[in-house]
Chains A and B, each alone.
Chain A
Amino acid sequence: MRALRRDLSIYLSIFGMTPKVFMAYQLWFWIGLVLNTIGMAILVFFWRAVYADTDSVAALSLQQTLTYILLAQIFFPLTDVDLIFDFGFNLREGNIIHFLLRPINFQGMYYVQNLSSLMMRLILQIPIAVVATLLFGLQWPTDPATWGAFAVSALLGFTALFFFHWFLACLTFYTTEVWGLGVLIFGMSLFLSGSLVPLTMMPGWLQTVVLSIPFAQAIAVPVSLLTGITPLIQAPLVWLTQLAWVTGMWLVSALFFRVAVRKVTVQGG
């Protein structure tokens, strides 16, 4: 019990550190808003052009699609896990050994840190949410039940993705090209998370592929619940599937981590 309380207090202080780091980048914040607006504008105009001659695409109206796309953009931080650059940096600087020596669960520490970053990033998305509402006519879902279902699903999806990223970050034990690896994963997550196109528009086989890679769990699955593309009645089933994802990814990541760490400790990095 005491140990748990100690761990919690450590986690809490890690949780509190992240906002301070963010505040150091004010210029980036404002410019990030403009960049997000550009990205959003392109998507909106693109979709408006798609719907120029038709009222529905794959049974979705323009408004439904836009709501999905805009919410997916706003909640895109759900796919942001910093592990790869963190691992890469700490490996290069030789810090990884310090982390392994600390008397705290390494993975737990990182999870809390990333969860804190996620909260901060979502708060920082408020301005772009305002832009989406005022400029691009985003209509927010109002049913508290959908929001609740979404929140649970988002947290589960983020957690599954965290473990998946943990697995990918272990690759930095084998390659020194961290930047490229990060871009590669970001590039894949753009499409595979379902942030660019609603999954229902994809051909069946592609849906299967996308749903068998964890990225979709963090965006497409929760945002489909939120926008009503997935009926609320299916929420428990969705959660169960996501829970299976979390468990599976957790096992895989822990296993790979042990192998990768052995490589560092045996061969000295």
Chain B
Amino acid sequence: MSVIEVENLTKVFKIPQKDPGLGGAIKGLFAPRFQSKTAVDRINFRLDRGEIVGYIGVNGAGKSTTIKMLTGVLMPTGGSIRVLGRDPHRQRIDNAREIGVVFGQRTQLWWDLALIESLNLIARMYDVPPARYKQMLDEFSQTLDLGSLLKVPVRNMSLGQKMRSELAAALIHEPKVVYLDEPTIGLDLIVKERIRDFIKAECGSKGMTVMLTTHDLGDIEQLCRRVIIIDEGRVIYDGPIETIKKKFGKFREITFETTGLVPSLSLPPGCELLSTGDRKVTLRFDRIQTTASQVASAVMKQIEVRDFSLSEPDLANIVKQIYNGALDNGGVEPEAADARPAP
């Protein structure tokens, strides 16, 4: 049996339309008009015990709405969710005992309390046996280096310290299912690295099922074997991260700034034109077939280059390409937009 089972999950929001001013407010009170917005549209997936799955998408794709439904905060409009066999909204309190949640941008700790006091409260709320609680505290003191933080009120912590504390608060009752919403947002590289190591070790060793939403492809690459990509409320990819890496990891983009207008260029094999602008041209090349220096020298022979820069494709770009059918026909042709699968 899967730990999380999601079937045809749908969420439609009704957004009240407001007219300005007091008159509008009163009108809205008696004759409200609504506009429907489908945030999550018939999505399906299953997560097994011990899986760490990346749930990614651009802003507004429906990620946090999904997480809110999975945690029981929001009620689905349609479809069903089973988390450990329960309906998380209807059996919210029973479900809450088994899950741990980190909302990256919001604290679940008490602002003015020393961390240890917050943890005491949370442990009691989840009925963690005192002996086990002590063990967990010792463990976290090591793995999250909380020792020196326990007496510090949350309001005096740095962003990284706060996140370490949030993780301790979310995992102190050893939940079976963990939802991490942007756990590394705003952190610097070293802290990010540490948080990832901790998640990997803690959740891996205890067989927790983890659903991770993030903008950071680094999080995904290091923690997840499987990713689910969502866009405009629909799942557009569900499969191994390897496929994504192979497909998109081998490409690089290179942008040239030129002194004059860009003529039509002849490009080496494995390289293609992405866009041309005013004194600017962007190419994409396959790292297996060619190299950055080959592409650069080929271009420089044809035009005068003032500057150039290299970049890896970002999440928004990947999503766009998958949407345009990149994973269906094997090509990453921009023209493939027409070949997009019928919804």
Interface bin, chain A: under 10
Enumerate chain A residues within 8 angstroms of B25, measured Cβ to Cβ. 27
Output the nearest chain B residue to A30 by Cβ-Cβ distance.
B22
Enumerate chain A residues within 8 angstroms of B22, measured Cβ to Cβ. 26-27
Q: How many residue-residue contacts, CB under 8 A, span A and B?
A: 3
Chain B 138-158 against A: per-residue CB contact (8 Å), 1 yes, 0 no? 000000000000000000000
Chain B 25-44 against A: per-residue CB contact (8 Å), 1 yes, 0 no? 10000000000000000000
Chain A nearest CB: distance from B27 CB in Å?
14
The A151-209 residues at the B interface (CB cut-off 8 A) are: none
What is the bound-complex CA distance between A26 and B25, given in angstroms?
Answer: 11
Enumerate chain B residues within 8 angstroms of A27, measured Cβ to Cβ. 22, 25
What is the bound-complex CA distance between A27 and B25, given in angstroms?
Answer: 10
Chain A nearest CB: distance from B290 CB in Å?
53
Output the nearest chain A residue to B22 by Cβ-Cβ distance.
A26
Output the nearest chain A residue to B21 by Cβ-Cβ distance.
A26
Chain A nearest CB: distance from B277 CB in Å?
41
The A224-251 residues at the B interface (CB cut-off 8 A) are: none
Interface bin, chain B: under 10
Chain A nearest CB: distance from B115 CB in Å?
21
The B11-26 residues at the A interface (CB cut-off 8 A) are: 22, 25
What is the bound-complex CA distance between A27 and B24, given in angstroms?
Answer: 12
What is the bound-complex CA distance between A26 and B26, given in angstroms?
Answer: 12
Enumerate chain B residues within 8 angstroms of A26, measured Cβ to Cβ. 22
What is the bound-complex CA distance between A26 and B22, given in angstroms?
Answer: 7
What is the bound-complex CA distance between A265 and B22, given in angstroms?
Answer: 45
The B288-343 residues at the A interface (CB cut-off 8 A) are: none
Chain A 1-38 against B: per-residue CB contact (8 Å), 1 yes, 0 no? 00000000000000000000000001100000000000
Output the nearest chain B residue to A29 by Cβ-Cβ distance.
B22
The A89-105 residues at the B interface (CB cut-off 8 A) are: none
Chain A nearest CB: distance from B28 CB in Å?
13
What is the bound-complex CA distance between A27 and B22, given in angstroms?
Answer: 8
Chain B nearest CB: distance from A136 CB in Å?
27
What is the bound-complex CA distance between A262 and B22, given in angstroms?
Answer: 46
Chain A nearest CB: distance from B25 CB in Å?
8
What is the bound-complex CA distance between A9 and B22, given in angstroms?
Answer: 33
Chain A nearest CB: distance from B153 CB in Å?
13
Chain A nearest CB: distance from B19 CB in Å?
14
What is the bound-complex CA distance between A81 and B73, given in angstroms?
Answer: 43
Chain A nearest CB: distance from B217 CB in Å?
36
What is the bound-complex CA distance between A26 and B24, given in angstroms?
Answer: 12
Output the nearest chain B residue to A26 by Cβ-Cβ distance.
B22
Chain A nearest CB: distance from B31 CB in Å?
19
Chain B 150-183 against A: per-residue CB contact (8 Å), 1 yes, 0 no? 0000000000000000000000000000000000
Chain A 26-53 against B: per-residue CB contact (8 Å), 1 yes, 0 no? 1100000000000000000000000000
What is the bound-complex CA distance between A100 and B22, given in angstroms?
Answer: 39
The A62-96 residues at the B interface (CB cut-off 8 A) are: none
What is the bound-complex CA distance between A46 and B114, given in angstroms?
Answer: 50
Chain A nearest CB: distance from B299 CB in Å?
50
Chain A nearest CB: distance from B327 CB in Å?
49
What is the bound-complex CA distance between A236 and B22, given in angstroms?
Answer: 47
Chain A nearest CB: distance from B22 CB in Å?
5
Chain B nearest CB: distance from A27 CB in Å?
8
What is the bound-complex CA distance between A113 and B25, given in angstroms?
Answer: 30
Chain B nearest CB: distance from A32 CB in Å?
14
What is the bound-complex CA distance between A29 and B227, given in angstroms?
Answer: 53
What is the bound-complex CA distance between A27 and B26, given in angstroms?
Answer: 11
Chain B nearest CB: distance from A93 CB in Å?
14
Chain A nearest CB: distance from B190 CB in Å?
28
Chain A nearest CB: distance from B268 CB in Å?
56
What is the bound-complex CA distance between A194 and B22, given in angstroms?
Answer: 36
Chain B nearest CB: distance from A269 CB in Å?
14
Chain B nearest CB: distance from A75 CB in Å?
27
Chain A nearest CB: distance from B66 CB in Å?
35
What is the bound-complex CA distance between A27 and B28, given in angstroms?
Answer: 14
The 3 tightest CB contacts between A and B, nearest first, are A26-B22, A27-B25, A27-B22
Which residues of B are in contact with A by a Cβ distance under 8 Å? 22, 25
- Complex A-B: 3 CB contacts under 8 Å: A26-B22, A27-B22, A27-B25
Which residues of A are in contact with B by a Cβ distance under 8 Å? 26-27
